[in-house]
Structure 1
Amino acid sequence: MNSYPTITDRAVHSLLMQGTVIPAHPLALNPALQLDERMQRQLTRYYISTGAGGIAIGVHTTQFEIRNKGIDLLEPVLRLAAEEISLAKPDRPFLKVAGICGPTAQAIEEARLAVKYGYHLGLLSMGGLRHETEAALLDRAWAVAEVIPLFGFYLQPAVGGRLLSYDFWRAFADIPNVYAIKVAAFNRYQTLDVVRAVAASVRRNEIALYTGNDDNIVADLLTPYRFTIQGEAVEKRFVGGLLGHWAVWTSKAVALLQEVKECLSNNGIGMEDLLAKGIGTTDVNAVLFDAKNEFHGCIPGIHEVLRRQGLLQGRYCLNKAEELSPGQMEEIDRVYASYPAFNDDAFVQQFLT
């Protein structure tokens, strides 16, 4: 039987299982669309300073085009983030998650690169592989699992993902070094498929669920999922989030997750206020992610907030066609004014001084 790599740092493993804030790290570019190394490093330091429990980089928010020939930015962004974390010497465990994409050979190569720079987990995307059978995707996952511990990823079809069945996730959960799964299906039925599949696995207590459902963040974190599995009552919860939405206003995201945990440990005291805050969060997300235009402006929306705060030079994307949709800027103005308690502009201003 093959021996699969594991998370050897007990504090890191404990943090992952208890649940934490993992922002999806953007890409800092200059006006010439070249990597702005200073701003890229500064972004990483910002996430560390907020109290977030880790970062995910090389993911959708980092722009998939970093892998294109002639751009070749995957290794630089993985290296820079790892270096900044090492230099910062956080006084707490800090998760390093690397995005892994593409067919099996590419995914294995990217997993090896992540291991080279000390990443704890590979966030394995099924995006762009709609022609593959679920059996082939499972074979790919097993192959990547031989290189790096896995963080599963259900990416919604609107941004390049594909529908995956309950049976797929039930089999995926049996891979011995799957430590977590991010559910970003943006769909209650598909989210339920994943949670039920994990609950049915003998590994249910070894897999942490992270919400990537940016449209339902707070409700995901508050909801108990209860099932009867072979006559046994089983409960699973989302313990944290790995979110593009948490790439902005991150210190407030850290406070929000702590508020959720306190609510759950105090018999639901404050749940109504949290649910109301969840609706505000969804309103903000609909604007930043440009939901009404099928998420066309989601990366520029994130960039615009970071630009306003001084954490990015501009909204620059490697794909020049990616820009704010008509009316999106005005909507960002609206949610900034409507939810002043949600932003962390004061925190960022202090961080930058």
Structure 2
Amino acid sequence: MSYPSLLPSHAELLKEGTVIPAHPLALTNERKLDERRQKLLTQYYIASGAGGVAVGVHTTQFEIRKPEINLLGSVLQLAADQIRDSNPQRPFLKVAGIVGTTTQALKEAELALKHGYHLGLVSMGGLNDLSESDLIKRLEAISEVIPVFGFYLQPAVGGRLLSYDFWKDAAALPNLYAIKVAAFNRYQTLDVVRAVCASDRRDEIALYTGNDDNIVADLLTTYRCTVNGKVIEKKFVGGLLGHWATWTGAAVELLKRIKSSANDDRSIAELLTIGIQVTDMNAAIFDPANSFHGCIPGIHEVLRRQGLLEGTWCLNPDEKLSQGQAEEIDRVCRDYPELVDDQEVKLFLEKTLSHQY
């Protein structure tokens, strides 16, 4: 069977590893789509040096799919149009979130393809009535429409536990190019890595961290698995992260530093210390102390402070910053100034807005 494929330049970028922010949703105070700021966010990610964006994912708010809201097509198109207009002069990956039953997922895959998206990030969430075998069939059907980015989403935000055998079967699919691991759990992360190492397609599949609580350690670690008596090595090469929707310029510089740290023990030791600082920053914006209730508003709050968003509004009015969360964001910005990009964002806004008016 003939599958839709990635251009070699996009496939190479994905395999080399890059920063892919999960794209937030810009709203007005009436909770309507703010198209200008939605496009401004996309411009910011391009200007920050990110290698792509993921749109229609958890950070974009799953409520965009509700019939009475119906914003999935709009946000996919706005990002695609802005990327075209910005013309980055380099490969830039467009990743579309895909959710729901096979019927819904196939419709979303077709919509993503219509808007020129390169990959579908396929969530297994909300499908607890399906067996793992059924999930593989669904994944295979989607892969016949659009190249697939597998996705292990933690149960705390709507995902489900998936076995080593599931990921081994997923890795065998000929049109699966990458897997995002957002299990927030080292045991389950290891299941995915072992499964990919056991696959004949191991060299064709890029691993991306979505473990916002363990970003740097994921990217520094070389996994060694023994397969049929042979030691196979595999690394996470980049990240597709809600955390990287904020302070994106700093994230790009951090990934560059991680990639250049090979075999430098002092550099790696320092990066592990920085990794704990990144986790501390993530705790402030993702709000694990309150079961991640303030996760999306936390992202919005950082972007609001920088001038990229007007407010922290979500489609669900119950999604707000938790008590004390703003103060935690104050603290981490004060304690880790080298991990924020406020000055770069200020210069970006001055340059961008001066051209718009």
Please give the TM-score of this superposition, normalised by the length of structure 1.
0.98
**Counterparts of 2:10 and 2:177 in 1: how far apart (Å)?**
11
> Which residue is equivalent to 2:254?
256
Structure 1 letter corresponding to 2:326: M
**Counterparts of 2:168 and 2:9 in 1: how far apart (Å)?**
28
1:340, CA displacement in angstroms?
A: 1.1
Structure 2 letter corresponding to 1:299: I
Q: What secondary structure sits across from 1:252 in the alignment?
A: helix
> Which residue is equivalent to 1:131?
129
Q: 2:335 aligns with which of 309, 333, 338?
A: 338
Is 1:348 aligned with 2:348?
Answer: no
**Counterparts of 1:312 and 1:49 in 2: how far apart (Å)?**
16
> Which residue is equivalent to 1:212?
210
Structure 1 letter corresponding to 2:321: L
> Which residue is equivalent to 1:234?
232
> Which residue is equivalent to 2:2?
3
Is 1:322 aligned with 2:319?
Answer: yes
**Counterparts of 2:254 and 2:203 in 1: how far apart (Å)?**
24
Structure 1 letter corresponding to 2:61: Q
Cα deviation 1:139-162 (Å, max 9, x = unaligned): 100110110000000000000000
Q: 2:274 aligns with which of 268, 274, 277?
A: 277
Q: 2:287 aligns with which of 269, 286, 290?
A: 290
Gaps of 5+ in 2: 351-357
Is 1:304 aligned with 2:301?
Answer: yes
Kindly tell me the number of residue pairs found equivalent between the two proteins: 350
> Which residue is equivalent to 2:353?
none
Q: What secondary structure sits across from 2:261 in the alignment?
A: helix
Q: Which moved more, 1:327-336 or 1:53-62?
A: 327-336
What percent identity do the matched residue pairs reach?
Answer: 65
> Which residue is equivalent to 2:17?
19
**Counterparts of 1:276 and 1:100 in 2: how far apart (Å)?**
35
Structure 1 letter corresponding to 2:327: E
**Counterparts of 1:130 and 1:246 in 2: how far apart (Å)?**
29
1:327, CA displacement in angstroms?
A: 1.1
Q: What secondary structure sits across from 1:127 in the alignment?
A: coil
**Counterparts of 1:11 and 1:148 in 2: how far apart (Å)?**
17
Cα deviation 1:301-335 (Å, max 9, x = unaligned): 00000000000010010001100111111111111
Cα deviation 1:36-89 (Å, max 9, x = unaligned): 000000000000000000000000000000000110000000000000000011
1:91, CA displacement in angstroms?
A: 1.6
Q: What secondary structure sits across from 1:26 in the alignment?
A: coil
Aligned pairs (5 A) from 1:10-159: 10-159=8-157
Structure 1 letter corresponding to 2:70: D
**Counterparts of 1:268 and 1:5 in 2: how far apart (Å)?**
42
Q: What secondary structure sits across from 2:238 in the alignment?
A: strand
1:4, CA displacement in angstroms?
A: 1.6
**Counterparts of 1:62 and 1:269 in 2: how far apart (Å)?**
38
**Counterparts of 1:340 and 1:263 in 2: how far apart (Å)?**
22
**Counterparts of 2:124 and 2:268 in 1: how far apart (Å)?**
34
1:163, CA displacement in angstroms?
A: 0.3
Q: What secondary structure sits across from 1:71 in the alignment?
A: coil
**Counterparts of 2:126 and 2:67 in 1: how far apart (Å)?**
17
1:267, CA displacement in angstroms?
A: 4.0
> Which residue is equivalent to 2:185?
187
1:12, CA displacement in angstroms?
A: 1.0
Please give the TM-score of this superposition, normalised by the length of structure 2.
0.97
Q: What secondary structure sits across from 1:263 in the alignment?
A: coil
Structure 1 letter corresponding to 2:55: I
Cα deviation 1:124-145 (Å, max 9, x = unaligned): 0011111211111111001101
Q: Which moved more, 1:131-140 or 1:233-242?
A: 131-140
Q: What secondary structure sits across from 2:260 in the alignment?
A: helix
Is 1:172 aligned with 2:170?
Answer: yes
**Counterparts of 1:51 and 1:337 in 2: how far apart (Å)?**
24
Structure 1 letter corresponding to 2:190: L
The Cα RMSD (Å) is: 0.7
**Counterparts of 2:346 and 2:119 in 1: how far apart (Å)?**
32
Structure 2 letter corresponding to 1:292: A
Gaps of 5+ in 1: none
